[in-house]
Amino acid sequence: MSSTEVNLPNEARRVLGLMDLTSLNDHDNEESIMAMLDEIDAALGLPAAVCVYPQFVALCKASLVERGFNHVKVATVTNFPSGKEPLEKVLAQTRQAIADGADEIDLVMPYNQVMAGDPDTPWQYVRSSKDVCGQHAKLKVIIESGMLGSDELIAQASDIAILAGADFIKTSTGKVTVNATLAATQVMLSRIKINNKPVGFKAAGGVKTVSEALPYLEYAAQLMGSDWINADNFRFGASSLLTDVKAIIAKS
């Protein structure tokens, strides 16, 4: 799909509504998180969620309510970014995040265990986290597709997450060399389709422009149907994508 075949301003607004506006930087502080929230312009449209470290969940929740952006979800990360934290620590962090108001938990699967031929440990992390989330929060499982590398391992990790109860499967932490790719997306979406469970998909890291986002939407529409593409099923995890969205809409 080329930019000449689509109405880019309309697509920019569509992408914005599917976005998890993200700040997961080592130097994040309350001021930088508030500055990110200040970038949200309701006149252009609202993102699906903001994604921040656990210590900023309560701040974001309160600030979004204060701004009248009540339906913008607050997501946070657990077992991030290494996927190597002890399970009990991960579950404790999940409980605290939900208590602080998190609507969504982005859990890093122990992907190294998948690579080592141990599917049971990743399954336990996902299943236990899902049990903690219950009806309080959606569980989005990061499989770190760029580290898994092969289609076979990406498919296996996707299956583990889906069968263990994930509400979403997500490509990446954004902290490794290879993050979201269309090739990994195709494998992950195909596993959602084959498993026939109500699981969403999130492309995270590396999708920086609306034009880069369009092939992801096109493939998802081809495989899952156009009606499937909404914030309940499809997300982009992005920090810089909003800049391009704003630039495109400003020119329209």
Q: Is 106 a catalytic residue?
A: yes
Q: Please give the residue range of the domain that contains residue 227.
A: 3-251
**Contact indicator for 3, 31 with CB cutoff of 8 Å:** no
Long-range contacts of 26-35 (CB under 8 A, 24+ apart): 28/52, 28/53, 28/56, 30/56, 30/59, 33/59, 33/60, 34/59, 34/63
pLDDT of residue 64: 98
At residue 6, the pLDDT reads 83
Catalytic residue among 61, 73, 170, 244: 170
- In this structure, the number of other CB atoms found within 10 A of the CB of residue 209 comes to 18
Looking at residue 55, its pLDDT comes to: 98
Catalytic residue among 106, 130, 138, 140: 106
How far CA 41 is from CA of 15, 46, 67, 148, 243, in Å, comes to 14, 7, 10, 37, 12
Q: Is 202 a catalytic residue?
A: yes
Which string of DSSP letters, residue by residue, matches the chain?
A: --GGGS-HHHHHHHHHHTEEEEE--TT--HHHHHHHHHT--TTT---SEEEE-GGGHHHHHHHHHHTT-TTSEEEEEESTTTS-S-HHHHHHHHHHHHHTT-SEEEEEP-HHHHHTT--HHHHHHHHHHHHHHTTTSEEEEE--HHHH-SHHHHHHHHHHHHHTT-SEEE---S-SSS---HHHHHHHHHHHHHHT---EEEEESS--SHHHHHHHHHHHHHHH-GGG-STTTEEEEESSHHHHHHHHHHH-
The pLDDT of residue 167: 98
pLDDT at position 19: 98
Candidates 234, 160, 167; CA nearest to 197 is: 167
Catalytic residue among 61, 130, 140, 202: 202
Provide the domain count of the chain. 1
The CATH number given to whatever domain includes residue 23 is 3.20.20.70
Token pair for 191: 């596993």
pLDDT for the residue numbered 4: 47
Q: Which of 205, 201, 189 is nearest to 241 (CA)?
A: 205
Q: What is the pLDDT along the chain (252 residues), one digit of tens a residue?
A: 444 468 999 999 999 999 999 999 999 999 999 999 999 999 999 999 999 999 999 999 999 999 999 999 999 999 999 999 999 999 999 999 999 999 999 999 999 999 999 999 999 999 999 999 999 999 999 999 999 999 999 999 999 999 999 999 999 999 999 999 999 999 999 999 999 999 999 999 999 999 999 999 999 999 999 999 999 999 999 999 999 999 999 998
Q: Which of 49, 113, 47, 28 is nearest to 79 (CA)?
A: 113
